[in-house]
Amino acid sequence: MRRRSLRKNILQTTADGKSVADIVRELKAGAVSGDYRDRSLKMHGLICAKCGREFSPKDRHLLTVHHKDGNHRNNPPDGSNWENLCVYCHEDEHSRGILADYLKQTDKGYNT
């Protein structure tokens, strides 16, 4: 009996006609959130949010999508967790944390 109820749940469909199994398969493949880069570029434009440099479609590969909360799986439909950053500003954004951690360790060494 247990097996039958599990199978019934897996075969249920959502409002858009997809089965639960199809949704799980898409999530595992990354198909649902994998297109966030294109969505972010369309939504926020081809401009770096930090330095303000504008990019043409030809050099849009130099723009990256930064997840503000650091979770690359958090891709809300409204794009509130994204900001487009050029590769230089994106590197700077992530290296600041590394530098801060290093300075904290160095500072602790001097205080003891």
- Give me the residues paired with residue 65 across strands: 84
Q: Is the distance from CB of 83 to CB of 58 less than 8 angstroms?
A: no
* Token pair in block for residue 110: 């001097």
**Domain ranges across the chain:** 1-32, 35-111
- pLDDT value of residue 13: 57
pLDDT tens-digit profile of 28-65? 655 445 588 999 999 999 999 999 999 999 999 999 99
Which is more confident, 69 or 109?
A: 69
The domain 35-111 having CATH identifier 3.40.1800: the answer here is yes
- pLDDT value of residue 30: 53
Q: Looking up tokens 């479609």, which residue turns up?
A: 57
- pLDDT value of residue 4: 53
